[in-house]
Amino acid sequence: PHSSRGLEEEQQMALAALSRQLEAITDVEELTKLERKLIRAAIRKLRAEEIEAAALAGNVQSSR
């Protein structure tokens, strides 16, 4: 029983640390900059996957 309670406490501490970090980012500009960076990275990843899939499909068709 002790170990599970310890895990719960750890999660609570992690959540508290996260909320403190979020509160620290009071600068909206900083937050939007971070969001834009994340969104751009996600889009790049998706595009790369699409290109890879298209290339694979092309290889399959041309090998026939």
Number of structural domains found in the chain? 1
Q: What is the pTM of this model?
A: 0.43
| Model confidence band, residue 19 (pLDDT cutoffs 50, 70, 90) | confident
| Model confidence band, residue 2 (pLDDT cutoffs 50, 70, 90) | low
Q: Which domain holds residue 53?
A: 2-63
Q: How many CA atoms lie within 13 A of 39 on its CB side?
A: 6
Output 42 or 22, whichever has higher pLDDT: 42
Could you tell me what percent of the chain has a pLDDT over 70?
A: 88
Q: For residue 1, is pLDDT > 60?
A: no
Q: How far apart are the C-alpha atoms of 47 and 39, rounded to whole Å? A: 12
